[in-house]
Amino acid sequence: MKGKPLTRRAFMGHCAAGAASVGAISRMDTVLARQRADLSDPTRISLIFAHPSSEGPCWPNIGYDFEGAKADFLRRIRSSCPDIEFHPHTVMSEKDAAAVLASNDALDGYLLYMAGCLWGNVSESIAAAGKPVVYVDNLFAGSGEFLTSYARIRRVGAPVIPVSSSRFEDVADAVRCIDAVTKLRHSRALVVGREPDHEIEKVYGTRMIAVPFDVISDAYHRSDEAEASACAEKWIERAEKIIEPQAREIVKSARLYHAMRALLSEHGAQAITVNCLGGFYGGHLPAYPCLGFMQLDDEGSVGACEADQRSTLTKLLMRYLIDRPGFISDPVIDTAQNQIVYAHCVAPTRVFGPGGEASPYHLRDHSEDRKGACNRSLMPLGQTVTTMMFDHHKRQVILHQGCTKANLDIDRACRNKLAVEVQGDVYKLLNYWDEWGWHRVTFFGDFKRHVENVATLLGFEVVYEA
């Protein structure tokens, strides 16, 4: 079968018939819903409208309809962020601001809308509370106070995101940053076959849970082979080509996927990372987790290679922020082409999120040892990508961007090789790998500002590596 397409008929001849696909998928959906229920409490934000009376001269003008402006803003933000709970207040003095701050200790952050110039220290007092703040200017109304007060706030390093834009989506994007860091604080991630880095919990709040190899092996052997066969059949039907792996290898990968799913559900966790090379080479894992990671990423969860906990948290944070999967890679740089090539043996096929269009893919064996099963995703070309890594030890995030140019097919190193034209200086991109390690995580889209905003809330410095 090696080198030839594996048809559905051939697949069914090589493995058990299995339960109906619909039943298997419905069970997967049930597990996913149960996992997400652990984050069902909404992020709660105090929405503070700051403005003077319009009975006398003011910015924007005497007689201005502040009530109408506030009602419109509240309607739009609730529509743009329906999963976030907003608690509106009006503040017209520093005394009003103090009362709001005193009554909202349990809230996750503040959305301060400078509807008109108060010319006091309201914004500074809210920023000093230490919780995340999105600070929004009502253009041509609150601008004078917004500009002068934000400049002061910025100098003291408060976790405040400024928004001075006529595009309302910029407000919503900034508010989602508070939601993302809040969700991260209440999340759990499983680390299979390696000790958890507990510094992560100190920085992000995310609980890292150790899972020994024998636990995931037991979950594998408890998995339903018929259900796994139905899952493997679905992967085969979607694949453009099946080149090396035999049907039994794909079923083993599906059983490991169900084992990971079961562990996520058992622990109420939102992400899993596996010491895959050590586990497989050492005989602790019956299959590579690559196809399981592909499935987890495609359906809206997080699976991450090599027990890389920095990459896992980067993927999880961005999943909450933009609902797109990250592609972990071992990059290779080609200065002649002004390109960086992101290489790895697993990649998502729904790079624009669970509801986005799926890319075609090939089923391959793992590159280094030519065993097991993985996927080669033919990812979209001509697209802006943002590549990054959040580092909780450095309190930094490193970032570069580019445009996708090719899915290279070279029989060296990892199966996925996404070539990207670098935005910036490709030679500068050579400078940071000793300090940051070989991995980076790539997301389809221009998310530079999103990363900068989240870094502000976390107190991280942004390092632009190209």
Q: What stretch(es) of the chain map to CATH 3.40.50.2300?
A: 44-183
d(CA 50, CA 92): 6
Q: Is 22's pLDDT higher than 50?
A: no
Under the banding of pLDDT at 50, 70 and 90, the label for residue 367 is confident
Half-sphere exposure for 126 (CA within 13 Å, toward CB): 35
| Residue 325: predicted pLDDT | 97
Buried b / exposed e over 289-325, threshold 16 CB at 10 Å, is: bbbbbbbbbbbbbbbbbbbbbbbbbbbbbbbbbbebb
Mean pLDDT, range 327-335, rounded to an integer: 97
Q: Find the distance separating the first CA and the last CA of the chain, reported in whole Å.
A: 44
Half-sphere exposure for 357 (CA within 13 Å, toward CB): 5
Tens of pLDDT along 88-98?
999 999 999 99
**Do 361 and 239 contact (CB within 8 A), yes or no?**
yes
**Do 431 and 465 contact (CB within 8 A), yes or no?**
yes
- How large is the angle between the packed helices 168-185 and 66-80, nearest 10 degrees? 50
Beta-strand relationship, 440-444 and 188-192: unpaired
Torsion of Cα atoms, 396 then 397 then 400 then 406, to 10°: 140
| Residue 30: predicted pLDDT | 43
Under the banding of pLDDT at 50, 70 and 90, the label for residue 104 is confident
**Do 451 and 397 contact (CB within 8 A), yes or no?**
yes
Tokens of 105: 């200790």
d(CA 373, CA 361): 13
| Residue 332: predicted pLDDT | 97
CA 21, 22, 25, 31 dihedral sign is negative
Q: What stretch(es) of the chain map to CATH 3.20.14?
A: 8-38+186-464
Mean pLDDT, range 191-206, rounded to an integer: 96
Q: Helix (H, G, I), strand (E, B), or coil: what is residue 450? A: helix
**Do 273 and 48 contact (CB within 8 A), yes or no?**
no
DSSP label of 434: H
Under the banding of pLDDT at 50, 70 and 90, the label for residue 38 is low
d(CA 462, CA 400): 10
Mean pLDDT, range 111-127, rounded to an integer: 95
d(CA 206, CA 209): 10
Mean pLDDT, range 224-253, rounded to an integer: 95
Mean pLDDT, range 389-405, rounded to an integer: 98
| Residue 279: predicted pLDDT | 83
Tens of pLDDT along 251-265?
999 999 999 999 999
| Residue 338: predicted pLDDT | 97
Q: Is this model's pTM higher than 0.95 or not?
A: no
Fold adopted by 8-38+186-464: L-fucose Isomerase; Chain A, domain 3 (3.20.14)
Tens of pLDDT along 137-157?
999 999 999 999 999 999 999
d(CA 8, CA 234): 9
HEC readout, 282-340? CCCCCCCCHHHHHHHHHHCCEEEHHHCHHHHHHHHHHHHHHCCCCEEEEEEEEHHHCEE
Contacts of 448 (CB under 8 A, 6+ apart): 386, 399, 401
| Highest CATH level, class, for 44-183 | alpha beta
Contacts of 83 (CB under 8 A, 6+ apart): 42, 43, 179
Q: Supply the mean pLDDT for the chain.
A: 91
